[in-house]
């Protein structure tokens, strides 16, 4: 509601003039002000710009405006304002092809989302926002090719598990520096809900969370989203590329399921439904994603005839995770997708004429047994892949804990002779490449698989050497060997490094390259190329590739 007598509106123009000198200082924490200013634009647009969900004729644009000093994220105060947006084919905006205004205010936490349509397919665009003479940073985006276009390549950055407290987002900086990407695929844990000092880097807080408490309320989630978007590398990557995004659990709380979460205590943190609603509202306010008519986030994108990308939601509809003493992972009454999403996924994978069927998948679908690992690795590996302590048979927080759903999906691919399905996954803070067998036990003798999976490691979140507090590439080599020995469908496992991946799709193959950071705790960390794995069209098999994509 607009309040014309609100005293903060009297000083708004004075604030706009003074903040043009202040640049990107507002809401940017100490230590990153200089690096952030150029990427963020003036203080009114301190959280940068972003785009996402590109279509052949449109794309979603996002920003957050601070119209007055009091209108900070989560405050619930400040005036309603009309923010101008522009889209052009050149960075100087001499060829503006679309423009308009969007009204925002405290009800939307002063975020702005514009679903721009009527654009040309397969075209790069520049965009910006402005308010009362202050102009945001310029973002660059692109539309998808026409649905029937013959496309020779799709190249995506793949990232997940970006924990503010555990380090800096250098992975985003390295991806933002690449001029060869068509977009960024973030498959979950974009932010973390924990209080300051909880879940850090080997127990050390590199930079504390804001607010300091665990986020529970709408104001809390808004402030946490705002903090993450003060990171200069995150803002740079949002400004450089359109994103395809889905959530995992930490956008809500650890190990979220439809009726609660491991990290939610109703007696002290209130009703789960209220917390879930708050998390969802803040997410859709602060992220460049569309939601369906029923509020769903699972959705599908096409890149010409080359590829179709199905983005999953594996938190909103799932049954409670099993434990060693309760629940049966094979119980057909249990679900990870929910029936409507499963039907949507199966029909999309078998009904498309796109050559490659990519699945943005927040938790691992490949079946894993850790029964042959040494005892000293079990708890650490279990923490990574979601095993409850004492259970060595199933990754209970991933598809291993919902085997009826997995069998239904993989059986559908097999029975309908669906080729070229590739799951692109995060969550487990480590790197994996695998054939995905319909039945893990029969793979030992027939080698059959229904799909392949590439898993990217974490941007910053702890992995096995951090959990064990040992030097990287020491004891983890034994754990990696044990995993591959007991799971012959695993073709690559690396449990220690943090970083990002690049997924390159051509008519002949899908290849994933892994890049690892030298030091997640350094804001200037370098990155090195580590490994390439690929699957050839029609094979449903993973093999080692000769080197990174050019």
More confident residue, 235 or 31: 235
% of the chain at pLDDT higher than 70: 91
Mean pLDDT across 281-302:
97
Question: What is the pLDDT confidence band of residue 530, given thresholds at 50, 70 and 90?
Answer: very high
Beta-carbon contacts of residue 397 (< 8 Å; ≥ 6 apart): 249, 255, 321, 363, 385, 386
Mean pLDDT across 280-305:
97
Residue 34 has pLDDT above 70, yes or no: no
DSSP 409: H
- Give the pLDDT confidence of 76-88 residue by residue, as tens digits: 999 999 999 999 9
- Give the pLDDT confidence of 241-285 residue by residue, as tens digits: 999 999 999 999 999 999 999 999 999 999 999 999 999 999 999
Mean pLDDT across 478-490:
92
Tokens representing residue 41 in the block: 């634009």
- Give the pLDDT confidence of 449-474 residue by residue, as tens digits: 999 999 999 999 999 999 999 999 98
Residue 2 has pLDDT above 60, yes or no: no
Q: Which CATH class is domain 154-544?
A: alpha beta
Question: What is the pLDDT confidence band of residue 17, given thresholds at 50, 70 and 90?
Answer: very low
Exposure string for 401-440, b = 16+ CB within 10 A, e = fewer: bbbbbbebbbebbbeeebebbbbbbbbbbbbbbbbbbbbb
C-alpha 384/C-alpha 402 separation (Å) is 18
More confident residue, 388 or 451: 451
Residue 31 has pLDDT above 70, yes or no: no
Residue 21's pLDDT is 30
Q: What is the DSSP string of 62-103?
A: EEE---STT--TT---S--EEEEEEEESSTT-SSEEEEEEEE
Of 109, 145, 138, residue with least CA distance to 51: 138
Of 390, 264, 268, residue with least CA distance to 322: 390
Q: Where is average pLDDT lowest: 31-45, 220-234, 304-318, 416-430?
A: 31-45
Mean pLDDT across 407-419:
97
User: What residue segments make up the domains of the chain, in order of their start?
Assistant: 7-142, 154-544
Residue 19's pLDDT is 38
Residue 390's pLDDT is 52
Residue 385's pLDDT is 76
Residue 20's pLDDT is 35
Q: Does domain 7-142 have CATH number 3.60.15.10?
A: no
Residue 373's pLDDT is 80
Residue 9's pLDDT is 33
Question: What is the pLDDT confidence band of residue 414, given thresholds at 50, 70 and 90?
Answer: very high
Mean pLDDT across 157-178:
98
Mean pLDDT across 401-405:
95
More confident residue, 323 or 315: 315
Q: What is the DSSP string of 509-535?
A: EEEEEEEEES-TT-TT--EEEEEEEEE
Residue 388's pLDDT is 60
Mean pLDDT across 50-60:
98
Mean pLDDT across 67-94:
97
DSSP H or E run through 155: strand 154-159
Mean of pLDDT over the chain: 91
Residue 39's pLDDT is 53
């Amino acid at each position: 509601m607009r309040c014309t007598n609100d005293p903060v509106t009297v000083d708004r123009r004075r604030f706009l003039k003074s903040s043009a000198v202040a640049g990107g200082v507002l809401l940017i924490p100490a230590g990153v002000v200089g690096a952030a200013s150029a990427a963020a634009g003036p203080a009114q647009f301190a959280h940068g710009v972003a785009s996402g969900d590109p279509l052949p004729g449109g794309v979603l644009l996002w920003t957050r405006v601070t119209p007055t000093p009091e209108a900070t994220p989560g405050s619930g105060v400040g005036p309603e304002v009309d923010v101008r947006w522009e889209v052009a084919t050149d960075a100087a905006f001499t060829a503006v092809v679309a423009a308009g205004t969007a009204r925002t205010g405290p009800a939307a936490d002063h975020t702005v989302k514009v679903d721009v349509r009527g654009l040309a397919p397969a075209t790069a665009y520049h965009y910006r926002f402005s308010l009362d003479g202050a102009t945001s940073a310029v973002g660059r985006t692109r539309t998808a090719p026409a649905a029937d276009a013959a496309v020779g390549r799709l190249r995506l950055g793949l990232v997940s598990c970006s924990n503010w407290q555990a380090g800096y987002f250098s992975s985003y900086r390295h991806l933002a520096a690449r001029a060869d990407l068509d977009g960024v695929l973030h498959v979950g844990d974009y932010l973390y809900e924990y209080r300051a000092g909880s879940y850090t880097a080997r127990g050390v807080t590199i930079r504390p969370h804001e607010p300091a408490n665990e986020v529970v309320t709408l104001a809390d989630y808004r402030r946490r989203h705002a903090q993450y978007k003060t990171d200069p590398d995150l803002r740079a990557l949002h400004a450089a590329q359109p994103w395809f995004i889905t959530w995992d659990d930490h956008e809500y709380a650890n190990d979220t399921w439809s009726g609660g979460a491991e990290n939610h205590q109703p007696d002290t943190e209130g009703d789960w439904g209220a917390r879930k609603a708050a998390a969802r509202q803040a997410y859709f306010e602060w992220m460049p994603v569309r939601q369906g008519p029923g509020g769903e986030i699972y959705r599908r994108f096409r890149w010409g005839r080359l590829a179709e990308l199905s983005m999953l939601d594996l938190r909103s509809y799932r049954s409670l995770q099993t434990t060693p003493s309760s629940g049966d992972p094979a119980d057909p009454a249990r679900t990870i997708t929910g029936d409507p999403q499963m039907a949507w996924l199966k029909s999309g994978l078998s009904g498309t004429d796109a050559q490659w069927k990519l699945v943005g998948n927040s938790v691992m679908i490949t079946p894993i047994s850790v029964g042959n690992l040494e005892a000293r690795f079990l708890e650490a590996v279990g923490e990574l892949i979601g095993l409850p302590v004492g259970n060595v048979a199933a990754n209970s927080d991933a598809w291993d804990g919902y085997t009826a759903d997995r069998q239904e999906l993989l059986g559908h691919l097999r029975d309908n002779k669906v080729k070229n399905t590739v799951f692109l996954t995060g969550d487990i803070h480590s790197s994996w490449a695998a054939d995905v067998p319909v039945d893990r036990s029969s793979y030992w003798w027939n080698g059959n698989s229904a799909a392949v999976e590439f898993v990217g490691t974490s941007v910053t979140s702890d992995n096995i050497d951090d959990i064990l507090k040992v030097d990287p590439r020491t004891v983890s080599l034994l754990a990696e060997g044990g995993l591959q020995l007991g799971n012959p469908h695993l073709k690559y496992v690396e449990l220690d490094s943090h970083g990002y991946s690049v997924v390159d799709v051509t008519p002949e193959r899908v290849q994933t390259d892994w890049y690892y950071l030298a030091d997640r705790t350094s804001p200037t960390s370098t990155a090195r190329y580590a490994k390439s794995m690929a699957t050839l069209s029609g094979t449903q098999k993973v093999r080692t590739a000769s080197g990174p994509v050019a």
